[in-house]
Structure 1
Amino acid sequence: MVLLRLFSFLLGHVSLVVRGEFLEKFVNMAASRGIYLWDITRLSNDRVRVRVRISDVRPLRHIARATKSCFKIVERRGMPFMINRMKKRKLLAIGGVFFLVTLYFLSSFVWFINVTGNDKLSDAEIKKIAAEAGLRPGVAKWDLDAKQVERNLREKIPSVAWAGVYVKGTRVTIEIAERKLMQEDPHKGEAAHIVAGKAGLIKEVLVLNGQAMVKEGDTVLPGSILISGEIKEEMIPEETNQPLPRGQEPPEPQTVSRFVQAKGIVRARVWYEGYGECRISETLEKLSGQQKTSVRIKFGTKEIIISGPGESPYRYYEEKQTVKSLPRWRNIVIPVELRTVHYLEKIKERVHYGREGAKRIAEQKAMEEVNAKLPEGAKVIERRLEQVNIGREEELVRMKAFVETVEDIGIMKPFKATEEDND
């Protein structure tokens, strides 16, 4: 269908209004002779509007005479008619062609340069370095070497870790990724445990430094040590060639503690809970769009109303006001204020959600509450909703949302080695 319409536009088509008593016969005879009619619209009992290609207009005259009908061309569309109109308006055609050529020529240049991704570096500094490599407003796109601009930005600005230059139309976008300076760890070199930041069921323990204190399947509470920063090692006394006296036992191995900063990842299953409720019917307040404005001048404690009401003319309303004061003069405060008070009318509307509608709203509130508790990077493995029943019918729907996640629950907790020794 689309190809036929496109073909008809290229060859040209017209809209006809056909008048006669045998319009159905007219359409059927045209179809039987291979004449394609489309957008057939009945205007009245004896009139119909159709579209047909230019080449099929002449054969339709014979069909019109055979069916005692007549038609009139009411609209001409397509490429041939446009060309004919252009021939009559040569200056307009020349101007249109000149405009298109000029537009194409101007679109071959760069006119706008945008910089994104920069935080500490200024746009002007980046554009200056890019201009040294040939990227400036007005440069032809065929003379622009995007790779050279990227290399120049990385070489001339040490704080740039990566640069990308993208050309789209007459706009060039420079994307910058700055080097992130490593922040010094405040606990670097200090003995520390990794403890549980929240309760959970251990699923995976990966120790990079320290000694694991939990294993998969263990339940931990907030503050429980997951990876200890104290590594206990047994020191076995050196053996001597001399035999021990009779009755004397060899010395027992001694335990020595070595203190490190524990490092590792401890993932656990963690459960979150959210609650939401919604009434089946409730009264809502909303602005009606009506408002009254009151302008007043205040001198000290006295107030004069210049225009508008002295108080709100509405029963339910919201009040907004702006205050303008005179500027100070030589540290003297002039106690004059211009107050503009807007009274916005509110109307109360009774809304009935129904039990199912209230249930959906309560579910949404419960999920919003529980989603607000989820930390970034937590992997959600289950979501569950339950309706709370209190044992009696009420005009309120209560829902609870339960979400189970797998996340890293370890947080670093420094300690003093001397205190740990005493423990």
Structure 2
Amino acid sequence: MIANWLRNTFYGAIKVEVTGKLLSVLLNQLNRSGIPLLNVKRKSVESITFIINIQHFETLRTMVKNTESKIKIVRKIGIPFYNWRLKRRYMFTFGFVFFLLFIWTMSNVLWDIEIVGNNGKSLPYENEKIIREELENTGIRPGVWKGKLAEKDMIQSYMRETLQDRYVWIGMEIRGTKMLIIAVPFAKPPLQEKLAPSNIVATKQAVIRNILVHDGVAMVKAGKKVVPGEVLISGIVGAGKIIPAKGVVEGIVWYTVEVNVPLQREVETYTGESKKKYRLVLGNRELPLYLPSSLEVLQAGHDLKTVIRALSWRSLQFPIQLHVDTYFETKTQIIKLDEQEAKNTALAKASQKIKEQTDYLEVVSETIMKYNMDSEQVYLKLLAEVVEDITARKTITEQDILEHFPKPD
């Protein structure tokens, strides 16, 4: 049975349907001739189907004529018929084989080299340039055949030895058509800022909320009102001794802002209509997968969102990307605000404006100083009380020392 199946597969076989009144005679003749039949099935009293090897087909036709029967080919089976179909579709076959070879070739080429630090971020340009030059010395560059690359351990050893004065460790990993280089530089000790003898002074008018002295002498206390330039922490700590004052001083500062909010505003909303277009991107080349006429310009405007999908298979990452551009249709709507909505919007806008204009640490309070509404807009004036770092460093001059230690009369 298996031998007949193999013979039919490699040499070809035909499934036929024979109709006639002398089917028993036909089957006996085939049996006496030693012609094997597979899957013999009777469809009706005068009809049977079976599979016969293509080598015995002419003999079968002669016997069918002798028994005054009719024969019909139902299906062709085996490699010879498959090859015949391929020959008829040679362009399709050639294209399919070429596509497989193309994918295989592209997946065995190194297309991209990414160099990052131990935090996953890109290195400075000069550092990355040095690493790329050393990689080229080992034959590693975009476009090289991966089979020609040296062993991973050899490349890592070479890079570590060559750049040992710059990096603690250098590792590499190949992910499909991309090579990832991880370079861990030596940790530089933090630079100690060398400060000249100086005072810490106020930068703006405020009321002191907190004061914390690290080095120097506190010149003010919490609750005191100060003006710009006033010394908060002095670096003059004794007769003839001056140091850079250090500390933290927080002050309460007041700001006022004015905002206008129209009672009508325009907003962009989605209509629910959208259109998509697809693009294949290979390097700097792009192949559109749509007809230009199929993507009409949306009359009311549109919002574009692009999704990029990298083509990959398991660990292989092909240098081809599918870009899906979705155009969402939008339209302009006019929204009318009632008085409370307009007031809340104005208050939020004023609060945001204060936060953007100040280096606040905390917003203590907000008070509406003035508010009115007409037929078109809402006007609001807001007073905000915020906590800020109000300090600046000022170098101690000879005049400061003389003022601190006045000469005796």
Shorter-normalised TM-score: what interval?
Answer: 0.3 to 0.5
Q: What TM-score, normalized by structure 1, do the two folds share?
A: 0.42
